[in-house]
Amino acid sequence: MNPTDIKALIFDVFGTVVDWRGSVIRQCMEFGQARGLNADWEAFADGWRDKYRPYMNKVRTGALPWTNLDRLHRMALNELLAEFEITGLSEDEKAEMNLFWHRLTPWTDTVPGLYRLKQRFIIAPMSNGNVKLMTDMGKFGGLPWDCILGAELAHHYKPDPESYLTAVELLMLRPDQVLMTAAHQPDLKSAQKAGLRAAFVPRPMEFGPKRTPDPTPDPAFDVVALNFMDLARKLGV
């Protein structure tokens, strides 16, 4: 891949751009402390994330009509609160918890890396998170996105090819001019299958200290970088 052929970088967000796990745990702890609620908030955050894929698959298979991620997060939260036997929360409090996903902290290299990449390329999220979620997160974390792309604009969740190809179409580019950047190899393989280029940026701390991430990048990826600053360097910015 010649970096000068690339016109836009689109990014997986949860895990790749922001530390969703640390941020959700921290907000849950603060929320619980303010209300005298005790729970294993690490397990709670992991449980919330684990429910994401089955809910999304209900949409992908047509068992649910198109439903954006905020609404799926909320369905999952209702289930999870019952499982953790957390009762007595008002509707407003549940809505507030759901917004924890809008306030996720970027990895330390994210913001300076995005500013550097932005000088040469269009940069946009390509997340399963919906437009409002990404917009709030961008304001919260100071992420200098040029536009917000993602699954909601396609009404197709990743890894459906329509999700990536809607982003490519909105950018009026060819798929091979768009570099999908992610910390998750299956996401990149699906993007490559749709004709996009792929940059792998491992985030070994995404799932916390206990889980061991897959360390060996598929040799088919176009770029492998340590972080977003290294990615900019490798793309010649």
Q: Quick one: 122 or 201, whose CB is closer to a copy of itself?
A: 122
Closest distance between a copy of itself and the C-beta of residue 65, in Å? 14
Q: Which lies closer to a copy of itself via its Cβ, residue 105 or residue 135?
A: 135
Q: Which of 52, 9, 44 is nearest to 28 (CA)?
A: 44
CB of 219 to a copy of itself, least distance (A): 33
Cβ nearer to a copy of itself, comparing 25 with 154: 154
Residue span 65-84 as binding mask against a copy of itself, x where in contact by CB under 8 A, dash where not? -----x--------------
Which residues 87-146 are close enough to bind a copy of itself by CB under 8 A? Answer: 118, 122, 124, 130-132, 134-136, 138-139, 145-146
Closest approach, Cβ 176 to a copy of itself, in A, equals: 17
Write 51-59 long-range contacts (CB < 8 A, 24+). Answer: 51/76, 51/79, 51/80, 52/76, 56/128, 56/157, 59/157
5: DSSP letter: G
Determine the Cα–Cα distance for residues 196 and 187; give it in Å rounded to an integer: 11
Contact present, 8 and 178 (Cβ < 8 Å): yes
Q: Tell me the site size for a copy of itself, rule CB under 8 A.
A: 22
- Classify residue 38 as left (phi > 0), alpha (psi -120 to 50) or beta: beta
Q: Does 170 bind a copy of itself (CB under 8 A)?
A: yes
State the nearest-atom distance from the C-beta of 105 to a copy of itself, in Å: 18
Q: Could you say whether residue 179 binds a copy of itself (CB under 8 A)?
A: no
Distance from the Cα of residue 203 to its chain's centroid: 12
Q: Which is nearer to a copy of itself, 148 or 188 (CB)?
A: 148
The nearer residue to a copy of itself, 138 or 175, going by C-beta atoms, is: 138
CB of 112 to a copy of itself, least distance (A): 18
The whole-angstrom distance between residue 112's C-alpha and the CA centroid of its chain comes to 18
Distance CA 175, CA 195 (A): 5
Retrieve residue 102's tokens: 């809008």
* Residues found in the chain: 237
Q: Which two tokens stand for residue 157?
A: 């969740």
**Whole-number minimum distance, CB 170 to a copy of itself, in Å?**
4
Pairing mode, if any, of strands 178-182 and 197-200?
parallel
Among 2, 61, 90, 172, indicate the residue that binds a copy of itself (CB under 8 A). Answer: 172
Q: Given the rule CB under 8 A, which residues bind a copy of itself?
A: 70, 118, 122, 124, 130-132, 134-136, 138-139, 145-149, 152-153, 170-172
